[in-house]
Structure 1
Amino acid sequence: KCYEDEWPALVVTPSSLRQQWADALKKWIGVLDIDIHTVFSKPDQQMGSTS
């Protein structure tokens, strides 16, 4: 398998493509559903904010 020793991997994609990327990872690389973590929304406060 390609990149088998290079995990974990982070894929940043527009929200409109997140499911297509997840499907492609499963189809082409053989990633299991349990290993795919999809973020559906961002927190109210951005990371690194001091307010």
Structure 2
Amino acid sequence: TLSQVELATAEWVDWYNHQRLHGEIGHVPPVEYETSYYTELTKPQVTTTI
């Protein structure tokens, strides 16, 4: 049925984004890599002037 296809698709998308280990990004799930990336972007940058 349509609802079964929708549920199966949602489950696959959840697995694809949150559970599978992606080899090109260090064998971490894509959502974990993305979270880490944006965390690094928002950290204050330390600069020095001489």
> Does TM, scored on the shorter chain, surpass 0.5?
no
Q: Whose Rg is larger?
A: 2
- State TM-score, norm by structure 1: 0.28
- State TM-score, norm by structure 2: 0.28
Greater helix proportion: 2
Q: Tell me: higher relative CO, structure 1 or 2? Use CA pairs within 8 A at least 6 residues apart.
A: 1
